[in-house]
Amino acid sequence: MISIKNLLSGGILTPDIENFQFVDSLKIMARGMLTIFLVTAILILIVFVLNKYSRKKSEKESGTGNENGRE
């Protein structure tokens, strides 16, 4: 399982757990906001694809319906 800790660990944004100070909270702020925007971007992309797929599917279905009607 990829946790957020694994995902973003090792960089300059890793807080010092032993001696947590104000600067570490700023690192967590940066990590937190970056991750929230990353998750949001993924979700936007997924919804965009889902919407596009649904629209194409419904267009296809309604197109087939008309053809049947004409026949």
Partner 1 sequence: MSILETAWQFIQGNWMNAIMWVIGGVLIYLAIKKDMEPTLLLPIGFGAILVNLPGSTIADPGHIIDLLYRSGIENEFFPLVLFIGIGAMIDFGPVLTNPKLMLFGAAAQFGIFFTLSMATLLGFAPTEAASIAIIGAADGPTSIVVANELGIGVNNPGLFGAIVVAAYSYMALVPIVQRPVIKLITTKKERLIRMEYKQQDVSKFTRILFPIVITAVVGFVAPDGLPLIGCLMFGNLIRECGVLNSLSETAQKVLANLITIFLGISISYTMRAESFLQVQTLIVLGLGLVAFVFDTVGGVFFAKFINLFAKKKVNPMIGAAGISAFPMSARVVHKMGLEEDNQNFLLMHSIGANVSGQIASVVAGGLILSLFKAFL
Does the footprint of partner 1 cover residue 64 (CB under 8 A)?
Answer: no
- Please say which residue, 25 or 67, places its beta carbon nearer to partner 1: 25
Which one, of 46, 51, 7, 8, lies nearest residue 27 by Cα? 8
Does the footprint of partner 1 cover residue 65 (CB under 8 A)?
Answer: no
CA 32/CA 40 separation, integer angstroms: 12
- Exactly one of 11, 20, 62, 71 binds partner 1 (CB under 8 A); that residue is 20
- Please say which residue, 17 or 67, places its beta carbon nearer to partner 1: 17
What beta strand segments (E) does 10-50 contain?
A: none
Beta carbons within 10 angstroms of residue 32's beta carbon: 13
Interface residue list for partner 1 (CB under 8 A): 1-5, 7, 15, 17, 20-22, 24-26, 28-29, 31-33, 35-40, 42-44, 46-48, 50-51, 53-55, 57-58
